Structure 1
Amino acid sequence: MTVHSLPRASEGAAVPPVARPKAPAHVIRTDDEAIAIAKELATEFARGASQRDRERIWPLAELDAFSQSGLWSISVPKIYGGPELSYVTLNRVIAIIAEADPSLGQIPQNHLGVVAAIRTVAAEAQKTLLFAEVLKGTRFGNAFSEFGSKRAVDFHTTWTDAGDHVVVNGRKFYASGALLAHRVPIVALDDQNRAWYAIADRGAQGLTVIDDWSSFGQRTTLSGTVILDNVKVPKTHLIPGYKGYETPSADGPVFQVIQAAVDLGIARAAIADTIDFVKTKSRAWVDSGLDHAWQDPYTIQAIGDLKLRERASAALLDVASAKIDHAIAEPGAETVAEAQVATAEAKVLTTELSIAATNKLFELAGTRSTLAEHNLDRHWRNARTHTLHDPVRWKYAILGNYYLNGVNPPSHAWS
């Protein structure tokens, strides 16, 4: 498989929609097949990841290969023609891709979250329609968060009823994947302040996506500002997202656990590059009396610690994913709380590991690892940026309140 990147448009410019794939996407049928395809793609994605980060090159061809591979539809239920693979497999796939290129690992996160929400709250006719689109290779971006609001859950974007469609108005930011999506799910409020997903066509009149993502990390997540000026969305594509949090459901931990998988991938890449650099480029310290950096007992201990925490994080991510599978199969207050708690634990460990590993890289590899030619700072930039999605200090509070006081976690997309 050979993939090539295309350069991005001018920064700050409105970006036209991309064409949908001419051929339907592959449909994966087994867990082993999903993992094998993810590994094959990751090998290709890793080759240009540093250059894409350095020059902020959009991964258009890589993204097409990714979504056409069938990996974006592995959570579609079997009753609608999908593979309905486990979240254990799904999150292993995301970690594999994120290790190769964490921006590519992050892009499908909201797509997969919306697929889960459709399963939970959409009408049967909508499920049939939308899951068929996903299986063909349609990519969902997102237009959820808004810049400058008091809290992440405060929305000003609204929709009004216009018969067979609704009309959406507002402005969004942090719209990961929206630049090269085929559809853009928009969180918009009705006249009762309830949040819906209005899944607009990327080329809909009045929907503008601006390339103004300027973060120092996760630079090619295809994010930016989304402007919604009287955008028409058919009611077939209007999903009552708020219902996913009125009664216990796994929708929240689904959104969260994929973030943890991305952080695990970032950490793995940083640890692998640390080991390679120490073995091939770093010098032994002057007082060590050693010939090679890889003989340094302090370095050996530090690598052992990182690998131990990496394996523990991966194991807990599997536990959280299995709890999510259980909560989907048997939704209820306790099964969902167990999924939320395990996901919070995984999020804490993967966040702390990704920050530690990307810091430790420079300490162990030495000064020459900071040279621009290596671009190893991308690991720290990616980890520091991605782990800001939700503060793990609040995860500790969720865990303590659950174990000490028997209080279930709050019900929203960040829990």
Structure 2
Amino acid sequence: MTIDLSPAASGSAAPAVLPRELRSLPTPELIADDAQALLAARRLAEAFAPDAALRDRERRLPWAELDAFVASGLWGITVPREFGGAGVSNGTLAEVTATIAAADGSLGQIPQNHFYALEVLRVGGSVEQQRFFYGRVLAGERFGNALAEIGHKDFKRRTRLTREAAGWHIDGRKFYCTGALYAHWIPTLVVAEEQGRDVTYLAFVPRDTPGVTVTDDWDGFGQRVTGSGSVQFDYVRVEPEWVVPFQASFERPTTIGPLAQIIHAAIDLGQARGAFEAGLKFVRERSRPWIDAKVERAADDPLTLAQFGDISVRLRAAEALLRRAGRFVDAAQAQLTEQSVAQASIAVAEARALTTTASLDAGSRLFELAGTAATLDGLGLDRFWRNARTHTLHDPVRWKYHAVGNFYLNDKLPPRHGAL
């Protein structure tokens, strides 16, 4: 696998509004199995890590890194085997995500909704839709997302799909559109009126369709280069065969929600790993021991040793819960029932609760243990906490604990939506 991350390929920060000038990639490598996927992720992470702080500090959009990411074949690893993909386990998908996120939190998050869209296709798409879109992914095309809307206190979707004799079209505005900036296709949540009520669909919109405006206006203090800004749709034509049922997939038990959440948990786990490793390196090489420790090296300070031990234990526990959650999601995909999906959702919620606290804790205690010198801006060590704090706000962890407690105490099945 050749990884070209030269400055000329990467470029500088993109303008506010980007045309579709996406690179034409060679056909990606075909990942054969889980072991190959994990190996590819480790190799990419080694290439991505050195300039992660620079990309974060300068908000340098990772075009070259994404090209290498896609060329590795990793964006196609959840395509089912019958359609030419590796069909890896959910544990492997989570570990691949965590490995990349440990190197660069933004790069770990950008494909999250790409894999989400692939699962929506697997669950609700027709065989023809699956064959077409899986083929596009294996050819190197990537999906973004236009799911969320802001400006209203409710969660009602206002982006509409209108069906007319002259053709179907979409109008509306989305935000938090992670990956749309870099995408060939933008899976978009839309509502269409049917028999007097609104029904939700996922429409796959080509990035270069007239009327699509992707604006790079994400200015969060973390996950700075995820491209999580706005997408505007002004009378955007869409073909009927690009529209996939969505609402129906949540009116019955499916693994769309658990799969989305296990990737989020993996991103947080990766952030925790990255902060932990950065803290170890800094304390070994640069920190001074506290005077009362009466040791020559900070790495021999007994209180520092205990703190790193505590972080490590919490991190290993989060990893174990994530692997366990992957097995539950695998089982639910193999045999969909109310109970199997509920168990998968709860297992993922348990992992998400712990990966959330692990990522925030590791990012914060890095400075407590490394000392004042670690706060120098040029080092960029604050990015681990900023990234973790930003990403863990995706959906509130307090509701994970509520769902878990309600499941075990009252036999109450968790809600079916993408946030649990």
Query: TM-score, normalized by length of structure 1?
Result: 0.97
Match for 1:333: what amino acid?
E
User: d(CA) in 2 for partners of 1:195 and 1:8?
Assistant: 35
Asked if structure 2 preserves the Cα contact closer than 8 Å seen for 1:141 and 1:177, the reply is: yes
Displacement of 1:21 after TM fit?
2.6
User: d(CA) in 2 for partners of 1:253 and 1:149?
Assistant: 26
Alignment of 1:99-248 (within 5 A): 99-151=102-154, 153-163=155-165, 165-191=167-193, 192-248=197-253
User: d(CA) in 2 for partners of 1:181 and 1:18?
Assistant: 10
Q: What SS class does the counterpart of residue 11 from structure 2 fall into? A: coil
Counterpart for residue 388 of structure 1: 393
Displacement of 1:84 after TM fit?
0.7
Asked if structure 1 preserves the Cα contact closer than 8 Å seen for 2:25 and 2:71, the reply is: no
Report which stretch shifted further, 292-301 or 91-100.
292-301
Asked if structure 1 preserves the Cα contact closer than 8 Å seen for 2:178 and 2:229, the reply is: yes
Q: What SS class does the counterpart of residue 194 from structure 1 fall into? A: strand
User: d(CA) in 2 for partners of 1:258 and 1:87?
Assistant: 9
Alignment of 1:357-396 (within 5 A): 357-396=362-401
Match for 1:128: what amino acid?
R
Displacement of 1:23 after TM fit?
2.2
Asked if structure 2 preserves the Cα contact closer than 8 Å seen for 1:25 and 1:70, the reply is: yes
Displacement of 1:375 after TM fit?
1.1
1:7 aligns with 2:12: yes
Kindly provide the CA deviation profile for residues 323-363 of structure 1, in whole angstroms up to 9, marking residues without a partner as x.
Answer: 11111110110100010000000100000000000010000
Kindly provide the CA deviation profile for residues 39-89 of structure 1, in whole angstroms up to 9, marking residues without a partner as x.
Answer: 111111111111000000000010011112111111111111111111111
Asked if structure 2 preserves the Cα contact closer than 8 Å seen for 1:102 and 1:265, the reply is: yes
Kindly provide the CA deviation profile for residues 94-125 of structure 1, in whole angstroms up to 9, marking residues without a partner as x.
Answer: 00000010100000000000100100001111
Match for 2:141: what amino acid?
T
- Distance change in 2, residues 1:165/1:313 (3 Å): farther
Report which stretch shifted further, 190-199 or 209-218.
190-199
1:40 aligns with 2:48: no
- Distance change in 2, residues 1:162/1:67 (3 Å): farther
User: d(CA) in 2 for partners of 1:373 and 1:115?
Assistant: 39
Alignment of 1:234-313 (within 5 A): 234-313=239-318
1:409 aligns with 2:414: yes
User: d(CA) in 2 for partners of 1:399 and 1:18?
Assistant: 45
Q: What SS class does the counterpart of residue 390 from structure 1 fall into? A: coil
Asked if structure 2 preserves the Cα contact closer than 8 Å seen for 1:20 and 1:182, the reply is: no
Q: What SS class does the counterpart of residue 152 from structure 2 fall into? A: coil
Asked if structure 2 preserves the Cα contact closer than 8 Å seen for 1:157 and 1:188, the reply is: yes
User: d(CA) in 2 for partners of 1:356 and 1:267?
Assistant: 8
Asked if structure 2 preserves the Cα contact closer than 8 Å seen for 1:70 and 1:135, the reply is: yes
Displacement of 1:186 after TM fit?
0.6
In the alignment, structure 2 segments of 5+ residues that lack a partner are none
Alignment of 1:344-363 (within 5 A): 344-363=349-368
User: d(CA) in 2 for partners of 1:21 and 1:414?
Assistant: 34
Match for 1:208: what amino acid?
T
User: d(CA) in 2 for partners of 1:107 and 1:149?
Assistant: 25
Q: What SS class does the counterpart of residue 198 from structure 2 fall into? A: coil
Displacement of 1:369 after TM fit?
0.6
CA-based RMSD of the aligned residues comes to 1.1
Q: What SS class does the counterpart of residue 182 from structure 2 fall into? A: coil
User: d(CA) in 2 for partners of 1:67 and 1:123?
Assistant: 25
Displacement of 1:144 after TM fit?
0.5
1:338 aligns with 2:343: yes
1:68 aligns with 2:71: yes
User: d(CA) in 1 for partners of 2:252 and 2:21?
Assistant: 37
User: d(CA) in 2 for partners of 1:305 and 1:148?
Assistant: 41
Displacement of 1:8 after TM fit?
2.0
Match for 2:127: what amino acid?
E
User: d(CA) in 2 for partners of 1:134 and 1:374?
Assistant: 36
Counterpart for residue 322 of structure 2: 317
Aligned residues: 412
- Distance change in 2, residues 1:54/1:397 (3 Å): same
User: d(CA) in 2 for partners of 1:20 and 1:325?
Assistant: 34
User: d(CA) in 2 for partners of 1:381 and 1:271?
Assistant: 14
Report which stretch shifted further, 163-172 or 187-196.
163-172
Asked if structure 1 preserves the Cα contact closer than 8 Å seen for 2:56 and 2:225, the reply is: yes
In the alignment, structure 1 segments of 5+ residues that lack a partner are none
Match for 1:185: what amino acid?
P
Displacement of 1:9 after TM fit?
2.1
User: d(CA) in 2 for partners of 1:241 and 1:90?
Assistant: 23
Displacement of 1:162 after TM fit?
2.9
Q: What SS class does the counterpart of residue 49 from structure 2 fall into? A: helix
